[in-house]
Structure 1
Amino acid sequence: MGQTVERRTSARSGDAERSGASLSEPKAVNESIIVRSWGRCWDDYRIDRSTRSGPAVVEQQRLNERVDRYGEFVQLARAEMHALYQQIAGSGYALLLTDADGLILDYVGDPTLKRTFQSAGLWRGAIWSEANEGTNGVGTCIAERRPVTVHRDQHFRNRHNMLSCSGAPILDAHGELFAVLDASSVNARDTPESQLHTLALVTMSAQLISKCRFVASFPEGMILRFHSRPEYVGLINDAAMALDGDGKILAADPNAVAYLGLAHRSDLVGQRIDQVLDIEPANLPEHARRRHMPYWPVRCVKRGTRYFATLEYGDQQGVPGDRVHRAEQVVRSKPRGQRRPSLEALAGHDPSMQRQVERARRVVGRGIPVLLRGETGTGKEVFARALHGACAWSEGPFVAVNCAAIPENLIESELFGYQPGAFTGARKGGMKGKVLQADGGTLFLDEIGDMPLDLQTRLLRVLEEQEVVPLGGEVPIQVDLNLISATHCDLMERVADGRFRQDLYYRLNGLEVALPALRDRLDRRELVRAVLAEEGGEGVVVEDEAMRRIMACDWPGNLRQLRNVLRTALALCDDQIIRVDDLSAELGALELRSLKGTASAREESALVSAERDALIESLELHRWNVSKTAAALGMSRNTLYRKMRRHGIQQDER
């Protein structure tokens, strides 16, 4: 027993560089995974560390049988492996796909390194289970059912001490481990810390393959996708459930279990959908028959949480890889030739929007950063593009980055770029980050409130010094750009909670522009006609009752949801007339909620108006000194700022 403890301790207390880190996990967690694996190798498998024999390799017939058993999955995974390999080509790494037993089914890598990988046993037909080969990226991933990096002498067997492996699990539709995606190098010379970027990419691709696998598993059922943020529905991080024709839940992915606050998928599987979400089973076929329908709002029955959902028959999904967008594609650009609205067009005939446009026009392009604030779907990126087009930076690039869509381990390299060889998986020629790509133009940082704190510190330094040092580099590079940020959340609340740097907030907030929600705009009829014209329905007439229904909705998805509904109505309408029957089914529920809320909204209106008047009166009394006003009102400055933003009180109202 003492010898076992000694051996485990030596695995734990080796060179500091022996500890890696899994995606979004501290280094100590990955180290504990390695320690547990070494314990199994000593005690359970009784592996001889010094043996030089290579991995067991199955005969070709057995390999073919296993590949056939996995069927179309191998083809599905191979497409994603080739896409991922484009990210790491030239780094000396190869991608391996194994089954749940560690048998390598497929390989994607540099043809010139083929023999080297074969001699290391990293080839089709080799078995890399932990019981066979000790601690390694594939076998330990299978044993732990989680992403893991095993770097050089973290491998239990001495034979593998030059390898570096990052493996991530691929799950089937019922949450069972189905396969492993692994990136391996046979001659790793970097540090364990440098593996984080590669592990993040591998984990993201494994999650994408798992999502595709889930969708492909129910061709005769219906696939419900939902998320609390409508723009994420259909992306890698949404939740998915498979339903039969009666609305019974056949399967649920891990995101569905987590988002609904449940402990296990068994809490979902077997229930009817109306026991979980406020969706009538009888209405499912209507939603599923209409392909490319916009999402509609649904609520959790037990918790009341609102989500946005889409539904399609499984056989409508097509090639799963085409239905799930790659999360790392964070720069969203309009198709070439599509007309982008000007600031004048965005202002419309709504007084509030016109005022915001005029305020923004006065400062854009003058070195003053603009912070756009508004609900999801209010068109923050469209507004940012219009600002870019209206200033002296318009001839330069417009680079958009969604800070919430990039895995935390990738944000730094995406924003600031990296030099060749900066980390495992780095492109051979390095990469120019988004900040440098925006040099001479506009950098648009969407969902800035979701940026990790440590990245906020580096971003602040870049903005203050107007220079960038790419990862792995030493020489700063000057950058000159126009900065526009956007958020749907209250950044001052995040400052108060310690989730957002106060100094960065003030650096970004040269001018805050509040974009009104669609339900609050007074020019909704004009917006309907404008959207129809943009979607090719310039001569289309909206029937009076249909327009009344549109005007009665509270539009939780804002302009994005309006566009989706009208796009569908255009496809369904006859005789160039949009009627009630052409509108999406969810409008009835939205209208009902809106009507129910009217009475309470009127009651609250007087109180809101009174509070706004009182705040303005106190601010004027103290000559708009926020500190003195807050003290006089018995509240903190942060609370006063929140109330001012809630009531749309601007400093320049003085």
Structure 2
Amino acid sequence: MVDLATHPSAAIVQRDSADLVAGSWNRCVRDYGLDPARIELDVVSRSQLSAHRDELGDVVSIARGEMDNLAAQIAGSGYALMLTDARGVILYNHVESALRESFRAAGLWDGANWSEWRQGTNGIGTCIVEQRPVVIHCADHFAVRHSGLSCSAAPIRNAAGELLAVLDASSVQCEGTRAGQMHTVALVSMSARLIEKSLFVNAHRESRVLRFHGRPEFVGLIHDGLLAIDDNDCIVAADENAALQLGVDGRGALIGQPIAQVFDIDTGTFAATAHEQDQTVWPLHERLRGRRYYARLTAPARSRRALSLHGGEARSLHIPAQHANRRPGLSELAGADPAMAENVRCAHRVVDRRIAIMLRGETGTGKEVFARAIHEASARAGKPFVAVNCAAIPETLIEAELFGYKPGAFTGASRDGMPGKVLQASGGTLFLDEIGDMPLALQTRLLRVLEEREVVPLGGDTPIALDLNVISATHADLGARVASGDFRSDLYYRLDGITLTLPAVRERADRQALLRAVIASEHDGAAAIRIAEDAMKALVRYDWPGNIRQIRNVMRTALALCEDGLVRLADLPEEITHQAQQSAASTCASDEDSVVSDNPLANAERDALIGALEHNGWNVSRTAAQLATSRNTLYRKMKKHAIEPAQKR
């Protein structure tokens, strides 16, 4: 994993934290006139909190997903997570239930204003002023009442580099030293960067987005650079990583440049790649210094929505024959989902560090595929990958299957004996699927084999040395099984060097791209796969309780049943088409309600918005200023009332 103590964000915080705190205290006294003994908590009203949340719109929903991921990493540590806006108002918190009262008493709750000018030096407020990651630990706080807190905060910026929000991890039990908080601030900073990546892609979904890095395995992960490119092949936005990778003075230096002046790239090939939604990582060279990078291009949303080939009847997946049935590499498994990207990043960091990896996830989420990709990305790639499903082998046979046996070890044994899965995996990777279903007696022996790195086959007396990398997987809550006595705690801690949770299909942010990839892998022909528009919509809307395994089975059948190489709605199972019809009916009703309402207040708001927009020549910025609201809030209300922006009317 990342050495968080030496992460760049942690280094910056550690280097100048004393000056940062001193500067903040000076502001508290000189500019704000605060008394450290007389600072009171300021909480906005419920309606004001709602307005603050509305102003940020998608930021809150995107950040909440990443906060859930981060909370899983710090569970049990005594820390809680806060998301605030750029004014310091807490919009959303993630606190373990047992700690809620203590955090509420400390004022760390939705609606509380933690700006520096109201609460003095603190993680959230000082991060807003400094606009960089900060640690405010114990007595660093200006207010006496906050001296028991330890806070690590990082800024969240939009695609233009402007401060939008702050992500904070706080503890109400001040322990340890400030240096000990470097791990926390680095985790928070990485989560903030992931949120920024999602915000960038979301803000420029109508543009092509180029993701690039000097190493192919990092494309699609937190450290890659992002460039948004318009229809004229010019750069319209760049993130901070893009500027750093290209060695330019800020992201603004890239805006407006033709992409062909930055990279040695053929624009015709460039356009075709985006049109086909090619998820392959391909090499390209920077023109200024000649450095080689690797990149992946995402088409604009309008192209992804556009129909092709059949006059609007179907869309196509253009997959070359050699790509069919190819196993995806580890970096490819990240897709465009933040949780999977974090899983891939962690896997790359631990893969050759002799750290046991445990994969958690619902049945069918692709745990064996992910384990095999980890193996292929490791130094053991040319050695055996041996998978054992602990739930599929009868209890009476699992010991012999795992550890092998000598000739004549038991009645019915092969006269030649058998080496066993553990020995077969020596030198490579042993994948123990559904490890939670292994019998207790076998758990004891497995632990001994893993600890001593040697195995004695049944009927034998001479140990055989092993060289193993172990990856285990389960859909069960092993912690609960340990508590109930059904799973050995010592084996659990031996296997749980790092836990990576694979999200269910319904939870993935890149569901459509995932569907396309799985469908393509099931296609065994040379021609393009074509899927009718209504069929694709039904596939995207379905919940997929069986996850990726269910997608494979459904599409294998649909591809066999379809005629003329076109998958239609009728080729899909009834449960998928039925859910699609229900969803479409619900969406239609919702759309009608948003345009024509029985609520006179809603109709009045719609008429007022149209009037203000017409008065300002349909200029959204001027209208928002006149109404004393943000552009995001105005766009959201326009969408609510089905008022189209000027360029779409």
Q: TM-score, normalised on structure 1?
A: 0.51
Alpha-carbon distance in structure 2 between the residues aligned to 1:21 and 1:57: 34
Note the alpha carbon deviations across 1:102-141, whole angstroms, 9 max, x for none: 1111011112322221221111111111111111111111
What letter is aligned with 1:394?
A
- 1:394 has 2:425 as partner: yes
- Pairwise CA RMSD of aligned residues? 4.2
SS at match of 1:24: helix
Alpha-carbon distance between aligned partners in 2 of 1:336 and 1:159, rounded to the nearest angstrom: 48
User: How far apart, in 2, do the equivalents of 1:283 and 1:188 lie?
Assistant: 57
Residue range with higher mean Cα deviation, 325-334 or 229-238? 325-334
Would you say the 8 A contact 1:21–1:31 is kept in 2? no
Matched, 1:325 2:341: yes
Partner of residue 195, structure 1: 181
Alpha carbons 1:397, 1:438 under 8 Å: kept: no
CA contact (8 A) 1:249 1:271 kept: yes
- Residues 320 and 60 of structure 1: CA distance in aligned 2, closer, same or farther (over 3 Å): farther
CA distances 1:174-230 after superposition (whole Å, capped 9, x unpaired): 111111100111122232222122112111111100111111101211111011111
**Alignment partner, residue 223 of structure 1:** 209
Please give the per-residue CA displacement for 1:421-475, whole angstroms capped at 9, x wherever unaligned. xxxxxxxxxxx9xx98999753599xxxxxxxxxxxxxxxxxxxxxxxxxxxxxx
- Partner residue of 1:122 out of 108, 113, 117: 108
The answer for the alignment partner of 2:231 in structure 1 is 245
Is the contact between residue 239 and residue 259 of structure 1 (CA under 8 Å) also seen in structure 2?
yes
Secondary structure class of the residue paired with 2:181: helix
Amino acid at match of 1:325: A
Asked if 1:64 is matched to 2:50, the reply is yes
For residues 274 and 99 of structure 2, what CA distance do their matches in structure 1 show? Answer: 48
Counterpart residue type for residue 254 of structure 1: E
**Seq. identity, %:** 39
Residues 1:291 and 1:36: Cα distance change in structure 2 (over 3 Å): same
Match of 1:269 among 255, 268, 271: 255
For 2:211, what is the secondary structure of its paired residue?
Answer: strand
How far the C-alpha of 1:394 sits from its partner, in A, is 2.2
3-state SS of paired residue (2:264): coil
- Tell whether the 8 Å contact from 1:297 to 1:309 is kept in structure 2 after alignment: yes
Q: Which of 140, 148, 151 is residue 134 of structure 2 equivalent to?
A: 148
CA contact (8 A) 2:260 2:266 kept: yes
Deviation at residue 323 of structure 1 after TM alignment: 8.4
In structure 2, the partner of 1:442 is: 468
In structure 1, C-alpha distance between the alignment counterparts of 2:451 and 2:31, rounded to whole Å: 52
Aligned: 1:50 with 2:37: yes
8 Å contact kept, 1:96–1:183: yes
Is the alpha carbon distance of 1:258 and 1:444 closer, same or farther for their aligned partners in structure 2, counting shifts above 3 Å?
A: farther
In the alignment of these two chains, the number of paired residues is 374
In the TM superposition, 1:605-616 aligns within 5 A as: none
1:34 partnered with 2:21: yes
Give the CA deviation at 1:328: 3.3
Secondary structure of the corresponding residue to residue 181 of structure 1: strand
> Where do 5+ consecutive residues of structure 2 fail to align?
1-6, 306-334, 352-358, 360-364, 387-420, 432-446, 455-465, 472-492, 496-519, 528-558, 566-649
Secondary structure of 2:10's counterpart equals coil
Tell me which of 67, 71, 75 is aligned to 2:61. Answer: 75
Separation of aligned partners in 2, 1:194 and 1:68: 36
- The structural deviation recorded for 1:254 is 0.6
1:290 CA displacement: 1.4
Of 103, 106, 120, which aligns to 2:89? 103
Post-superposition offset of 1:537? 8.5
**How far off its partner does 1:241 sit?**
0.7
Q: Distance in 2 between matches of 1:146 and 1:86?
A: 24
Q: Per the alignment, in what secondary structure is the counterpart of residue 223 of structure 1?
A: strand
CA contact (8 A) 1:241 1:251 kept: yes
CA offset at residue 87 of structure 1?
1.3
Q: 1:438 to 1:116 in 2, by over 3 A?
A: farther
Aligned partners of 2:452, 2:118: CA distance in 1, in Å?
Answer: 47
Cα distance in 2 for partners of 1:195, 1:183 equals 10
* Structure 1 stretches lacking a partner, 5+ long: 1-19, 342-376, 401-431, 446-477, 481-533, 542-570, 577-654
Letter in 2 for 1:221: S
Aligned to 1:381: 378
The reply to whether residue 211 of structure 1 matches residue 197 of structure 2 is yes
Deviation (angstroms), 1:43 = 2.3
CA distance in 2, matches of 1:32, 1:388: 53
Distance in 2, Cα, partners of 1:103 & 1:324: 30
Counterparts of 1:317 and 1:197, CA distance in 2: 40
Provide the residue aligned with 1:279 in structure 2.
265
Q: Which whole-Å deviations, capped at 9, do the CAs of 1:369-397 have from their partners, x for residues lacking one?
A: xxxxxxxx996627446167699482699
Do the aligned residues in 2 keep the contact of 1:240 with 1:253 (CA within 8 Å)?
A: yes
**Quick one: structure 1 residues 60 and 121, their matched pair in 2 at CA, closer, same or farther if it must change by over 3 Å?**
same
Query: For residues 269 and 134 of structure 1, do their structure 2 counterparts lie closer, same or farther at Cα, with a shift above 3 Å needed?
Result: same
Cα displacement (A) at 1:337: 5.8
* 3-state SS, counterpart of residue 126 of structure 2: helix
